[in-house]
Amino acid sequence: MPLVAVARLEELSPGTSVEAIVGVETYVVCNHQGTIHALEGICPHRNGPMGAGNFADGMLICPYHGWEFDCVSGEYDMNPRVKLKKFPVEIEAGTIYIQIENLA
């Protein structure tokens, strides 16, 4: 599975998130307490862009209807069976990479 550069570490301070578009797929990359997490960037409720929403106290908040997802587990706060898919993250020389399964 390929690693794809999505952001620079210095651009993602703790408590912030950024949207990353790779090909036709959208991801959200967040820094929660100094740990970088990458998740799918589209809300399963109504396809809201998670990277355009707020990120507070470790929760990614969809800008469309306020659905909140834990950035560590990917779980929706009201039903943990609903999740944003997580992707492995690697950091090398200040660049954040995510591992993507099917890069076209």
| Domains of the chain in sequence order | 3-99 (2.102.10.10)
Mean pLDDT over 71-97 rounds to 97
What are 36-45's pLDDT values in tens digits?
999 999 999 9
Burial 26-63, CB ≥16 within 10 A → b, else e: bbbbbbbeeebbbbbbbbbeeebbbbebebeebbbbbe
Mean pLDDT over 42-50 rounds to 96
Mean pLDDT over 52-80 rounds to 97
Long-range contacts of 77-81 (CB under 8 A, 24+ apart): none
Predicted pLDDT of residue 101: 79
Burial of 22 (0-12, 13-18, 19+ CB in 10 A): middle
**Predicted TM-score (pTM) of this structure:** 0.93
Contact 95, 8 (CB under 8 A): yes
Predicted pLDDT of residue 45: 95
Query: Which is nearest to 79 in space by CA: 45, 50, 56?
Result: 45
